[in-house]
Structure 1
Amino acid sequence: MDPRLPQTVDSYLARIGAIRPVRPDAAALRELQLRHLTAVPFENLSIHLGEDIVLEESALLDKVVVGRRGGFCYELNGAFAVLLRELGFQVTLLQARVHGDEGKLGIPYDHMALRVVADDGTGPWLADVGFGDHAQHPLVLEDRTDQEDPRGTFRIRQAPAAGGDDYGDLDVLRDGAPQFRLDPRPRVLADFRAGAWYHRTSPDSGFTRSTVCSRFTAAGRITLSGRKLVTTVGAERHETPLGSDDEVLAAYREHFGLRLDRLPTVRGDGPSAPNE
């Protein structure tokens, strides 16, 4: 174990504005997920800043905790898994494929989510701080009925077997629309390297075609994409165009706590980045 880990966990809790829970129960998991979503942005800026993305626990903690940055799913859920384990939760990494246009599934290891077991007999839980606009609270992984959340109505259902192979995959739906297909078999962090490489290099990945930086707020969410700042409160959406580089850098600092010395440079134009 990294000898810095206990101190890093204390810093991690401070980073998200949380106190160390008395026990690793469902209430603690719920609080930690919400605070993480509110404090740590979902962002793909490393891709456009020319920064490497290293899927190793120490590197993820250095980025999120020491560097006070965000990341995309592999980084955010990878780091969150380290925090939860150190606090006493049992955590399993799960791979998922995101439902895209017309329900088409993305690549294997398109997304990382977490299966979390608490010590109070509840769950197991599906925890996720890396899917952009998604559930505010952990979902009960084995519940096949509607689960009400401040961000919508979620349901987890058995997915149809593909090509005769049935691994017990699960579809996660929000307000009736499929979000991603979850493979319940345990994975390790290194398994996601190919997916991360694809999303940071492929012209077919939305992440290489635009910048995105987004986080939960108490009433909705705030997102900066390119030079457009979007604030959503309930059903209301407000867009603010930003002009100069200094305005954009100031917005990163003010709304996301990111202190960048230069703007990320997008290699090409294209549609907005996906949720995962």
Structure 2
Amino acid sequence: MNVEAYLKRIKYSQKVKPDLATLNGLVQAQLSALPFENLDQQMGVKVSTAVNRVYEKVVIGNRGGWCFELNGLLGWALKEIGFDVTMLAAHVGSDKPEMNEANDHMLLLVNCGGSLLVDVGFGGGPIEPIPLRPITLSQRPYKISISKEGDGFYRYAERAGGNEGSYWFTLTEVDTDYFDGANHRLQSDPNSPFRRTLTAQRRLKNKHIVLRGLVKKTIDETGTKTELLSDEKELVECLLIDFNLDVPGISTYWPTIRLRHQELFGT
């Protein structure tokens, strides 16, 4: 593994050093180049949290991934460059979790002129690092907030297009192995959202492109544009054009993807 290949993969050509300008640039470059996606989970291909396996898949294999892969890869690259990085665990959902409730999301805390929340694996909102304090800010088209909720919990929330996503986290440091259980469960449990529906997401400046099932949504400051994919050819083309994912083999799974979409969304 080498940082130069990672930087080439995310199309980042500036000189890197452990400062805020580099951190901002890397976050935005990775979000643009490496989509959040669960194609392997749809095709029954095992996904690993080990950073060397993630590197092979994402950097060498020109793929994206989910939070354990995308934040794990960025965390490795930041440490190689010289950043002070702490890996944290979060529980996704609108309600505050119990203290012993299982976590299912990876995020990063970067000490760079202060404590900054960095997350390139949630699919949507934070296109820039966020100060770790109670705050509400605009990262268009999203409104983003962090709040302190007692018992050591922070809550991250993002809102755009009438939808909201959130997760809860503490500042307890974890390592990659911590997520092995969640990584296995989310790709093997038939009721896992990552098994039940295909998704690919790409966060660009002022815009978020989301494919969920057969529906592609483009969320920007003007609102939400929705398109329905009609066949496997459109699926392959959408993944290639909108998400830079050249995975023609996904067309084989079109009947299953369509059935799962109908079971979830009814159309």
Please indicate the TM-score interval, normalised by the length of the shorter structure: 0.7 to 0.9
Alpha-carbon spacing, 1:20–1:86, altered in 2? closer, same or farther (3 Å): farther
Alpha-carbon spacing, 1:243–1:148, altered in 2? closer, same or farther (3 Å): closer
Match of 1:156 among 131, 146, 154: 146
Separation in structure 2 between the aligned mates of residue 146 and residue 52 of structure 1, nearest angstrom: 38
The Cα of 1:268 is off from its aligned counterpart by 4.0
Structure 1 residues not aligned, in runs of 5+: 162-167
Secondary structure of 2:205's counterpart equals: coil
Secondary structure of 1:262's counterpart equals: helix
Contact 2:89 2:103 in 1 (8 A): yes
Contact 1:136 1:151 in 2 (8 A): no
Equivalent residue, structure 2, for 1:242: 229
Equivalent residue, structure 1, for 2:247: 260
List aligned pairs for 1:13-162, cutoff 5 A: 13-100=7-94, 103=95, 105=97, 108-118=102-112, 122-141=113-132, 143-161=133-151
Q: Write the letter of the residue equivalent to 2:198.
A: T
Separation in structure 2 between the aligned mates of residue 123 and residue 136 of structure 1, nearest angstrom: 18
Contact 1:95 1:108 in 2 (8 A): no
The Cα of 1:22 is off from its aligned counterpart by 3.9
Q: Write the letter of the residue equivalent to 2:115.
A: P
Secondary structure of 2:208's counterpart equals: strand
Match of 1:201 among 188, 208, 223: 188
Contact 2:71 2:120 in 1 (8 A): yes
Contact 1:77 1:113 in 2 (8 A): yes
Separation in structure 1 between the aligned mates of residue 159 and residue 199 of structure 2, nearest angstrom: 24
Equivalent residue, structure 2, for 1:181: 168
Provide TM-score, normalisation by structure 1. 0.84
The Cα of 1:231 is off from its aligned counterpart by 1.9
Q: Write the letter of the residue equivalent to 1:196.
A: N
User: How many aligned residue pairs are there?
Assistant: 254
Provide TM-score, normalisation by structure 2. 0.86
Contact 2:141 2:219 in 1 (8 A): no
Q: Write the letter of the residue equivalent to 2:135.
A: T
Alpha-carbon spacing, 1:46–1:117, altered in 2? closer, same or farther (3 Å): same
Q: Write the letter of the residue equivalent to 1:225.
A: R
Q: CA RMSD in A?
A: 2.3
Secondary structure of 2:56's counterpart equals: helix
Structure 2 residues not aligned, in runs of 5+: none
Separation in structure 2 between the aligned mates of residue 219 and residue 146 of structure 1, nearest angstrom: 17
Contact 1:224 1:230 in 2 (8 A): yes
Deviations 1:149-181 (A, max 9, x none): 3343433222233xxxxxx22112335967111
Separation in structure 1 between the aligned mates of residue 105 and residue 205 of structure 2, nearest angstrom: 25
